[in-house]
Amino acid sequence: MNKRTTIGKRRGAAMMIALMSALVVMLAATLLITLADRMVNGHADRIADTQIALSEASAADGLAWLLQCDGAGAVSGPVSFELAGVTTEFTLTGSGSSGIRTGFFSIDHPENTVAVPAGQMLITVTSAQGEGTVFSFYGNENFQVNFSYYLEESLIPLGGTPLINTEEADAVFILGSSEGNVLCAVGPEGIIALSEVQSIYAPSNGHMSGAVIDGSPFLITTGGGNTGVIHDVSTGASAHISTPAGTCPAFWPDGSIFGETGAASPSFSLARVRDVFYGDFNSDGRDDIAFTTDRSLSWVSGATSDIYRTAPGGSLVCWGEVENRNGLVGMWKPSGGDPVWYRASWDGFAQFVPENIYQAGWEGRFTASGNTFAGFIDGAAVVRSSSGFFQQLFPDQAFFGDADKGALDFFRTVDDGLEACFNPVYGDGIRLVFDSRNSWMGNTEPGGTHVFNLYETGTGTRVFHDLEGVNR
Strand partners, 201: none
Residue 469 clears pLDDT 90, i.e. is over it: no
Q: How confident is the model at residue 105, as a pLDDT?
A: 96
Band (48; pLDDT cuts 50, 70, 90)? low
Q: pLDDT tens digits, residue range 295-354?
A: 999 999 999 999 999 999 999 999 999 987 889 999 999 988 899 999 998 888 999 999
Note whether 117 and 454 are within 8 A (CB).
no
- Rounded to an integer, the average pLDDT of 385-402 is 94
Residue 1 clears pLDDT 60, i.e. is over it: no
Residue 157 clears pLDDT 70, i.e. is over it: yes
Note whether 186 and 175 are within 8 A (CB).
no
Domain boundaries, the chain: 3-97+429-470, 110-273
Q: How confident is the model at residue 123, as a pLDDT?
A: 97
Which is more confident, 64 or 75? 64
Q: How confident is the model at residue 336, as a pLDDT?
A: 85
- Using the Cα atoms of residue 228, residue 230, residue 231 and residue 237 in order, give the sign of their dihedral: negative
Note whether 373 and 327 are within 8 A (CB).
no
Residue 33 clears pLDDT 70, i.e. is over it: no
Band (391; pLDDT cuts 50, 70, 90)? very high
Residue type present at position 212? V
Distant-in-sequence, close-in-space partners of 134: CB < 8 Å, separation ≥ 6 = 124, 125, 126, 128, 148, 149, 150
Q: pLDDT tens digits, residue range 89-118?
A: 999 999 999 999 999 999 988 989 999 999
DSSP letter for each residue of 133-177: EEEEEEETTT-SEEEEEEESS--EEEEEEEBTT-SS--EEEEEEE
Residue 323 and residue 283: Cα distance in Å, rounded? 10
Residue 156 and residue 149: Cα distance in Å, rounded? 16
Which is more confident, 14 or 54? 54
Residue 129 clears pLDDT 60, i.e. is over it: yes
| Element spanning 231, H or E | strand 227-232
- SS3 category, 28: helix
Find, among 83, 80, 90, 91, the residue nearest to 52 by Cα: 83
Q: How confident is the model at residue 360, as a pLDDT?
A: 92
Note whether 128 and 134 are within 8 A (CB).
yes
- Using the Cα atoms of residue 359, residue 362, residue 368 and residue 372 in order, give the sign of their dihedral: negative
Residue 38 clears pLDDT 60, i.e. is over it: no
Q: How confident is the model at residue 323, as a pLDDT?
A: 87
| Element spanning 64, H or E | helix 3-70
Q: pLDDT tens digits, residue range 176-233?
A: 988 889 999 999 999 999 999 988 998 888 999 999 999 999 999 998 899 999 999 9
Band (40; pLDDT cuts 50, 70, 90)? very low
Q: How confident is the model at residue 46, as a pLDDT?
A: 58
End-to-end CA distance of the chain: 71
Share of the chain above pLDDT 90, in %: 69
**Least confident span in 15-29, 33-47, 298-312:** 33-47
Q: pLDDT tens digits, residue range 358-388?
A: 999 999 999 999 899 999 999 999 999 988 8
Compute CA distances 190 → 120, 140, 315, whole Å: 16, 19, 44
